[in-house]
Structure 1
Amino acid sequence: MDFSPMTEALASKSFEKIADICDNLMLQAAAEGIAFQGEWPFAVHLLGYIFVNDINSARFLWKSIPLAIKESQPEVVAAWKIGQKLWVRDYAGVHEALRGFDWSQEAQLLVSAFTELYGKRMFELLVSAYSTISIQDTALFLGMNEEDATNYVLQQGWALDPASRMLTVKKLPVVTEQRLDPNKLQRLTEYVFHLEH
């Protein structure tokens, strides 16, 4: 089986394409009657779904993986562990699962990119959901120790109350889109036309 499209996507850091590429390769292999049990990149395929936050598809792929593969390839199990933690919204557990395995080179590219993306998502979640939050909870969400989490959010403009060990979240400015009322635009056009003539 030619995995070069997947390899090229990994090399070009087109991680959002990995799941689709693997799906297409799997369909192609099935159409050609190719049995790919042992050499199929199940871990990368799972991580591709996880990267695009398609946990349902990752779950179905996991269920379709033969037991022999699950037992013989610990990286596949480690990839699914991330999916399990996402499924139950165990935010701290996701970080532990990401760090808790010595990933292959291909998988490491995806894991590193997802770790960064997930950290950004968690920070945005904290900003949108909290006005104040404890240092401990912030560290759990961000997958950092308390000192690093505190330093990180303070750099983002948050405030710390050392006595209560609570952080005050700095809300991002809300950007509102200005919409032109077609009636106002028509009146303005008529007014300008009237001035010119």
Structure 2
Amino acid sequence: MDTSALNEALAFKSYDKIADICDNLMLQVASEGVAFQDEWPYAVHLLGHIYINDINSARFLWKKIPVAVKEGQPELQAVWEIGQRVWMKDYGGVHEAIREFSWSAQTQGIVAAFSELYTKRMFELLVSAYSTISIQDTAVFLGMTEEDAANYAVQRGWTVDSESQTMTVRKHKVATEQKLDPSKLQRLTEYVFQLEH
């Protein structure tokens, strides 16, 4: 089994490519009739799907993994714990599941990258959903201490009211797209044509 593409993706931190690489490699190996059950990088494969937020594919992969492999690989179980928490929208639980396991050298990079990406996703969710939010709730969503969550939000333009322990969300400016009326465009074209001739 040639895992060079997977190893290269991990080395270059191209984590968004891992799920596809593993899916294709799994199909290739299966078509050759090679048994790969014990040596397959299930934890990395599962993390690849979780990283790109493809939880349905992660669930499907989990169901295909033999029970003996699931029971024999604690790291795989820890990855699935993250996947379950994402699936259940247990925002704080995702961060807990990440922190609760001592990750191997092979998975450490992608887990750290996912944690950072997940924090950014949660922050964007807060920006879109709230105008004010408590520091405590922000900390749960971001998987941080209250102090770290407040600092993280302040660095991104939020304001903190220490008396009420709330934060005011800074909304992103939305660029509005002007719609061009075809009749106005036609008149402008005619006007420019008249000026030139």
TM-score by length of 1: 0.97
- Residue 11 of structure 2 corresponds to residue 11 of structure 1: yes
Specify the alignment match of 2:89 in structure 1: 89
Counterpart amino acid of 2:34?
A: I
Shift of 1:115: 1.0
The worse-fitting range, judged by mean Cα deviation, of 33-42 and 109-118 is 109-118
Task: Determine the structure 1 residue equivalent to 2:74.
Answer: 74
* Cα shift readout 1:72-102 (whole Å, capped 9, x = no counterpart): 1111001100000001000000011112211
Q: 1:115 aligned to 2:124?
A: no
CA-based RMSD of the aligned residues comes to 1.0
Equivalent position of 1:21 in the other structure: 21
Matched, 1:181 2:159: no
Equivalent-residue separation in structure 2 for 1:52 and 1:30 (angstroms): 24
The percentage of aligned residue pairs carrying the same residue is 70
Alignment of 1:48-67 (within 5 A): 48-67=48-67
**What letter is aligned with 2:8?**
E
Query: Please, which runs of 5 or more residues in structure 2 have no aligned partner?
Result: none
1:191 matches 2:156: no
Question: Which amino acid is 1:5 matched to?
Answer: A
Q: Which amino acid aligns with 2:147?
A: E
Please, which moves more after superposition, 49-58 or 99-108?
99-108
Q: Which has the larger displacement, 124-133 or 171-180?
A: 171-180
Q: Following the alignment from structure 2 to structure 1, what is the Cα–Cα distance between the partners of residues 102 and 162? A: 37
Instruction: Give 3-state SS (helix, strand or coil) of 2:133's partner.
Output: strand
Cα offset, 1:116, TM superposition: 1.2
Aligned to 2:127: 127
CA distance in 2, matches of 1:52, 1:136: 28
Matched residue SS, 1:167: strand
Deviation by residue 1:163-194 (Cα, 9 ceiling, x = unmatched): 21111111111111223222222211110111
Letter in 2 for 1:69: V
Q: How much does 1:11 deviate? A: 1.4
Moved more, 94-103 or 30-39: 94-103
Report whether the alignment pairs 1:138 with 2:138: yes
Secondary structure of the structure 2 residue equivalent to 1:89? coil
Distance 1:155 1:45 in 2: 34
Q: Which runs of 5+ in 1 are unaligned?
A: none
CA distance in 2, matches of 1:24, 1:192: 56
Deviation of 1:16 after TM superposition, in Å, equals 1.1
Deviations 1:105-125 (A, max 9, x none): 221121111111111101100
